[in-house]
Homo-oligomer: A and B are copies of this chain.
Amino acid sequence: MNYHTQMEAARKGIITKELAAVAKEENLVPEELRQLVAKGEVAIPCNVNHVALKPKGIGKALKTKINVNLGTSKDLVSLDSEVAKVKAAEEMGADAIMDLSTYGDTQSFRKRLSQECGAVLGTVPIYDALVYYNKALKDITAKEWLAVAEMHGQDGIDFLTIHAGLNRANAEKFKARRGRLTNVVSRGGSLMFAWMEMTGEENPFYEYFDELLEICRRYDITLSLGDALRPGSLHDATDGMQIEELITLGDLTKRAWEKDVQVIIEGPGHMPMDQIEANMKIQESLCHGAPFYVLGPLVTDVAPGYDHITAAIGGALAAWKGASFLCYVTPAEHLRLPDVDDVKEGIVASKIAAHAADLAKGLQGARSWDDAMSKARQEVNWEQMFALALDPVKARSYHESAPPEVENTCSMCGNMCAMKNMNDILNGKEVWIGGENR
């Protein structure tokens, strides 16, 4: 091959087979998509070693994509349950899966994913370094941090979350300000902050960013520049530290693009609705149009057990106003590791947000799905409604759990069904209703 990364190929005018596949899925002319990839406005995370990959594009000109987090933790180490979650996630249409395992034989799981899983794969090397080296955080060396990133590249991971924006300068500013309610809520960010504090060294992903770019170039890893300083509460949203880090990420984006390394930018977090649009604009400007990957945003802090809903509200708004990629949030957020049902709930909520955003931004073709569903409703065609439902299984089981007495209605309205009655009256039939009580 005469290119290392999708970005390099695009810049050389080459339509790769991955780009062609994405263009087809998105109903775009390949040449248009090539220009977006060349500019960095679309990323096609696509590790050369991810043999099972079905490539996806991430960028605001495309369908909004969703990511599913899963992985083992010390409290829940079963690989089988994680594999069940991967299968559920793929079946339910997750575009990407991040393996955030923090315990057990993580490399076997990762390799299995890249051999078998078609979704775009992401990881956070910081977590895995603690597993892999099996020694205390403060004893891990700068070179070892980078070596884990390389290992993940070899294992076929398409994008790596790299917390390079929380460098010493930003950490010092953070300590000087101390105005936050919830400090650093990013897991990787807090570990890197603690490592810097304990060792006195610079963030290795920042200090050796050029070496990191060489690794990324080697495997065509997309950098997902992590927002270690994302707000973890409404109180901390859009504060100085969040924006300082975003400026740093914008600088790093340019350096990555100079080496043809693809970039996406991670974003909030907890944020009231009225700040979301401004945050999307600021990110676009500071990060030069690189796709924005948001976790939420959660529009209130008070709903643990329902953060798939708080995140769906924020995610829909964010994706409408510029985000390209939504990290799902499950009902278990803030409470426990999600189980497979939580994963499903999180995926559906996130897909609702993504599709609602695609509708709002007027994405070509997005509305035909809704129109088909509404036509099925008008025709009171239940089988068609189930077939078109985002979750056909739940839709059918709900409907069939309370069978209506009047055929082709539901137990909500029975013979008062507006669809049925309007069809009758508009077709010149009388509407026979009433006189049936007691």
Q: Nearest Cβ in chain B — how far from A432, in angstroms?
A: 7
Residues of B within 8 A of A76 (CB): 402, 411
Residues of B within 8 A of A312 (CB): 309, 312-313
Contact with B along A397-438 (1 / 0, CB 8 A): 011011111100011111111110111111000111111111
A362 to B274, CA, bound (A): 9
- With A190-B418, A305-B395, A398-B331 as given contacts, are A300 and B355 in contact (CB-CB < 8 Å)? yes
Give the interface size bracket for A toward B.
35 or more
Q: Give how many copies assemble into the complex.
A: 2
Q: Name A268-321 residues within 8 Å CB distance of B.
A: 270, 272-274, 299-306, 308-310, 312-313, 316-317, 320
The residue of chain B having its C-beta at the shortest distance from the C-beta of A438 within the complex is B134
A360 touches B416 (CB 8 A): no
Q: Which of A56-64, A84-92, A176-184 contacts B (4 or more CB under 8 A)?
A: A176-184
A300 touches B370 (CB 8 A): yes
- Determine whether A169 belongs to the interface, using a CB cutoff of 8 Å to chain B: no
A413 touches B138 (CB 8 A): no
A377 to B418, CA, bound (A): 47
The residue of chain B having its C-beta at the shortest distance from the C-beta of A374 within the complex is B233
A433 touches B302 (CB 8 A): no
Contact of A399 among B335, B389, B398, B425 (CB under 8 A): B335
Q: Nearest Cβ in chain B — how far from A242, in angstroms?
A: 15
- Determine whether A127 belongs to the interface, using a CB cutoff of 8 Å to chain B: yes
Residues of B within 8 A of A103 (CB): 437
Residue among A270, A335, A403 with max Cβ neighbours from chain B (10 Å): A335
The residue of chain B having its C-beta at the shortest distance from the C-beta of A103 within the complex is B437
Q: Name A176-198 residues within 8 Å CB distance of B.
A: 181-187, 189-191, 193-194, 197-198
Q: Nearest Cβ in chain B — how far from A126, in angstroms?
A: 9
- With A352-B310, A360-B272 as given contacts, are A416 and B304 in contact (CB-CB < 8 Å)? no
- Determine whether A255 belongs to the interface, using a CB cutoff of 8 Å to chain B: no
The residue of chain B having its C-beta at the shortest distance from the C-beta of A397 within the complex is B305
Known: A137-B433, A301-B373, A313-B313. 10 other contacts (CB 8 A): A73-B412, A76-B411, A139-B434, A181-B371, A187-B416, A191-B431, A235-B374, A272-B356, A309-B312, A331-B398
Contact of A412 among B133, B337, B369, B426 (CB under 8 A): B337
The residue of chain B having its C-beta at the shortest distance from the C-beta of A228 within the complex is B418
A303 touches B233 (CB 8 A): no
- Determine whether A112 belongs to the interface, using a CB cutoff of 8 Å to chain B: no
A133 to B437, CA, bound (A): 9
- Determine whether A375 belongs to the interface, using a CB cutoff of 8 Å to chain B: yes
Residue among A184, A316, A331, A394 with max Cβ neighbours from chain B (10 Å): A316
- Determine whether A130 belongs to the interface, using a CB cutoff of 8 Å to chain B: yes
- Determine whether A24 belongs to the interface, using a CB cutoff of 8 Å to chain B: no
